[in-house]
Amino acid sequence: MKRYSNGAMWDSNEDGIPVIDGGDGVVLGVDGGTTSTICVCLAASAVFPDGGLLADPSPVLARAVAGCSNHNSVGEVAARETLEQVMSEALHKSGRSHSAVKAVCLAVSGVNHPTDQQRVVDWLRNVFPSHVKLFVENDAVAALASGTMGKLHGCVLIAGTGSISYGSTEDGREARAAGAGPILGDWGSGYGIAAQALTAVMRAHDGRGPETRLTQDILCELGLGSPEELIGWTYADPSWARIAALVPVVVSSAEAGDPVADKILQNAVVELAASVRAVVQRLGLCGRDGKGSFPLVLVGGILEANRRWDIGREVLNHVTKDFPGAHPIRPKVEPAVGAALLAWNSVRGD
Amino acid sequence: MKRYSNGAMWDSNEDGIPVIDGGDGVVLGVDGGTTSTICVCLAASAVFPDGGLLADPSPVLARAVAGCSNHNSVGEVAARETLEQVMSEALHKSGRSHSAVKAVCLAVSGVNHPTDQQRVVDWLRNVFPSHVKLFVENDAVAALASGTMGKLHGCVLIAGTGSISYGSTEDGREARAAGAGPILGDWGSGYGIAAQALTAVMRAHDGRGPETRLTQDILCELGLGSPEELIGWTYADPSWARIAALVPVVVSSAEAGDPVADKILQNAVVELAASVRAVVQRLGLCGRDGKGSFPLVLVGGILEANRRWDIGREVLNHVTKDFPGAHPIRPKVEPAVGAALLAWNSVRGD
């Protein structure tokens, strides 16, 4: 029995769930985002329908959820505590001990550079024994894997509060575009769309821009009396997710015919498509003639096809004009499962 | 003798500077910004050359400097403590007691709404006796007054870390444009210029945008090895002033012929000119024929005419195309003196 820095004892299980050790190995997949961190535990011996989706009932043994694990947002100490905790909880729930772990794939936002990656690997190496296979990736990698059943080939576009495009080739080359946060211009993201809508309200109010229905729709949504009050509202809590939560209002305004809202969504589509295009071109995913087939995985609330003004569909229209071989995939499993599949792939041959 | 909430006793002076009371009244002007807060103390009986600049030696009796007093940034308690402290220090340095104060003009950023204004007036009323005249304004008002010797007529454009345009007519009408912070789209500001330059570097790096000299110039300035490292750099401390400090690099890149940097500055000029235009049109400062004369006060580091690529001159070129009667003024005194002149104007008739 070993005690880790978070105080958990992974070989004990206070709830009386039988702890299975030894041959019945598991893999862990972690999707660590700015809003939450999710860990799933898969049986290392799980059998998946070849190339298809996960079997139903899914071989996910357990799932645990914790808070933010982006070290840029909460600092390294807090990020690591969260990661240890969520992995410990998933193992606990699955009735497996720490020594049953065969491989771990940590896909965390904020890992943008090989030095970030190495730092997290070094830390993980202190948590797991040397025979455990460890993978640390940007969270976009897990999102790609969630659409391709763990095969790292193709391009993924994630658009939620933030946005990023990431791609990988079968021979291991990688590329990404956007995903650098709002200061560095992720204007197709949920934050970007909502911030431009707020800007449009201020411009209409002070005479720099055209009148827009966004004014009434956003003030009504926020329960504010005038555009000036938006200044205090944005200062009160500048969290990106709080701003991005206004996207459905922008979509409604556009659906009601507001040209300002419509233009903001059109611009977001162009930005998102440009980030896909940059990745596909750099990796040559479309082949020499530009018509080659490749998976295009679409992930995140902004791309969900649940509205008349369908951002995901419009992005796809833009992308397929350039790359007719783009094969759209909307994953049926969450990115944490994608991360677990990457870990699982690494041990399946053993 | 009265003890105030910050513990200072304004009627005492521990440094032995003689404390003059009674007839020898003073006025206080405060310029409270996000970076610093400045208080100046003028003799209420000072005589200024009619309509001209302050006499040299200036009748400023004392000047004190403190930190941020924007309640949106530091909270109300800290903002008020800073304001009490800086006023106390200016009086102390001038050898005047608290009871010598005839009028106070507090011009603070973050006062964007009549309710903000009233809250600060109510608080000031607890600090000063009822015969003291109190004025609370957005800091743009003091900047206008610093160019017009305390006369509230004309338009001021401030472009530093942030940007705002404010105007006032002789019959008391007011208007403002921009000044709502980066989330709400002040793209002509120093922050806006620098954030767009950082965005251009990321776009060039990941293939979404053209190559730009900004990459080498900004990475060299920050001592970073690659554009990916900018992500960690912006997260490490997202203060607007730290980002805005990159503006001289953008100007240098543009002067060296970089078209991307040039376009960013051109866009900033358009944004800044648009905010002036919005204010001038709403107030009708240019008269019915659009050719009427009005003061246009230019304030802030972004507008200083010290470079070949001169943002202030370009803004002026844009504005005077629409409004040939705009009479540019670059103030010789700081905004805190403008605030003090507003207070001084209110007591000169007494």
Could you tell me which residues of chain A have a Cβ less than 8 Å from any Cβ in chain B? 72-73, 110, 112-113, 116, 175-178, 180-181, 183-185, 195-196, 198-199, 202-203, 206-208, 226, 228-232, 234-235, 238, 243, 274-275, 277-279, 281-282
- Whether A18 has a pLDDT exceeding 60, the answer reads no
Angle, alpha carbons B216-B218-B220 (nearest 5°): 65
Selecting from B185, B226, B238 the residue whose C-beta is nearest the C-beta of A203 gives B185
Asked if residue B57 has a cis previous peptide bond (ω within 30° of 0), the answer is yes
Selecting from A181, A196, A207 the residue whose C-beta is nearest the C-beta of B234 gives A181
Position A50 scores a pLDDT of: 55
Position B2 scores a pLDDT of: 39
| Selection from B149, B51, B69 nearest residue B109 by Cα | B69
ipTM over the 0.90 cut-off: no
On whether the CB atoms of residues A109 and A139 are closer than 8 A, the answer is yes
Q: What is the pTM of this model?
A: 0.84
Query: Distance (Å, rounded) from C-alpha B273 to C-alpha B316?
Result: 8
Position B173 scores a pLDDT of: 95
- Chain position carrying tokens 């002789």: B170
| pLDDT tens, position by position, B187-214 | 899 999 999 999 999 999 999 999 999 9
Strands (E), B5-130: 26-32, 37-43, 60-66, 101-108
The H or E element spanning position A61 is strand A60-66
For chain B, domains (ranges, CATH) are 26-137 (3.30.420.40), 152-330 (3.30.420.40)
Q: Percent of chain A at pLDDT above 90?
A: 64
Contacts of A112 in chain B (CB under 8 A): 228, 231-232
| pLDDT tens, position by position, A64-79 | 999 988 877 788 889 8
Check CB contact under 8 Å for B238 and A207: no
| Selection from A63, A49, A60, A65 nearest residue A149 by Cα | A49
End-to-end CA distance of chain B: 26
At B160, which amino acid appears? G
Q: Please tell me which residue, A32 or B57, carries the higher pLDDT value.
A: A32
Position B139 scores a pLDDT of: 86
On whether the CB atoms of residues B108 and B70 are closer than 8 A, the answer is yes
**Strands A101-108, A26-32: parallel, antiparallel or unpaired by DSSP?**
parallel
Identify the band that residue B340 occupies on the pLDDT scale cut at 50, 70 and 90: very high
Backbone angles phi, psi at B306, to 5 degrees: -120, 15
- Whether A46 has a pLDDT exceeding 80, the answer reads no
Check CB contact under 8 Å for A177 and B208: yes
Position B18 scores a pLDDT of: 43
Backbone angles phi, psi at B67, to 5 degrees: -85, -155
Identify the band that residue A305 occupies on the pLDDT scale cut at 50, 70 and 90: confident
Query: Distance (Å, rounded) from C-alpha A285 to C-alpha A271?
Result: 19
The H or E element spanning position A192 is helix A190-206
On whether the CB atoms of residues A331 and A297 are closer than 8 A, the answer is yes
On whether the CB atoms of residues B91 and B10 are closer than 8 A, the answer is yes
**Cα-based distances in Å from B206 to A175, A176, B210:** 8, 7, 10
Q: Please tell me which residue, B297 or A187, carries the higher pLDDT value.
A: B297
Asked if residue A57 has a cis previous peptide bond (ω within 30° of 0), the answer is yes
**Cα-based distances in Å from B247 to B51, B162, B188, B195:** 35, 12, 11, 9
**Cα-based distances in Å from B112 to A79, A341, B103:** 38, 53, 22
On whether the CB atoms of residues B104 and B91 are closer than 8 A, the answer is no
- The full 3-state SS of B131-157, as one line of letters, equals CCEEEEECHHHHHHHHHHCCCCCEEEE
| pLDDT tens, position by position, A179-192 | 888 888 888 999 99
- Whether B56 has a pLDDT exceeding 80, the answer reads no
Position A8 scores a pLDDT of: 35
Cα four-point dihedral sign A340, A342, A345, A350: negative
| Closest chain A residue to the Cα of B193, Cα to Cα | A183
Q: Hey, what's the torsion of the CAs at B330, B332, B336, B338, to 10 degrees? A: -70
Residue B245's DSSP bridge partners are: none
Selecting from B199, B281, B282 the residue whose C-beta is nearest the C-beta of A184 gives B199
- Chain position carrying tokens 């992005």: A315
- Whether A267 has a pLDDT exceeding 90, the answer reads yes
On whether the CB atoms of residues A83 and A123 are closer than 8 A, the answer is no
| pLDDT tens, position by position, B96-121 | 888 999 999 999 887 777 888 888 89
| Selection from B208, B210, B205 nearest residue B224 by Cα | B205
Token duo for residue A117: 């990656």
On whether the CB atoms of residues A191 and B169 are closer than 8 A, the answer is no
On whether the CB atoms of residues A124 and A47 are closer than 8 A, the answer is no
Check CB contact under 8 Å for B177 and A207: yes
- Whether B13 has a pLDDT exceeding 70, the answer reads no
Of A144-148, A232-236, B141-145, which range is least confident?
A: A232-236
> Rounded mean pLDDT of chain A?
87
What burial letters (b/e) apply to B256-284, b meaning 16+ CB within 10 Å? eebebbbebbeebbebbbbbbbbbbbbbe
**Strands B26-32, A174-178: parallel, antiparallel or unpaired by DSSP?**
unpaired
Identify the band that residue A216 occupies on the pLDDT scale cut at 50, 70 and 90: very high
Q: What is the mean pLDDT of residues A291-303?
A: 95
Check CB contact under 8 Å for B198 and A183: yes
Selecting from A113, A178, A230 the residue whose C-beta is nearest the C-beta of B228 gives A113
> Rounded mean pLDDT of chain B?
87
Of A172-176, B142-146, B249-253, B305-309, which range is least confident?
A: B305-309
The H or E element spanning position A287 is none
DSSP code per residue over B70-95: -HHHH-HHHHHHHHHHHHHHHHHHHT
On whether the CB atoms of residues A311 and A269 are closer than 8 A, the answer is yes
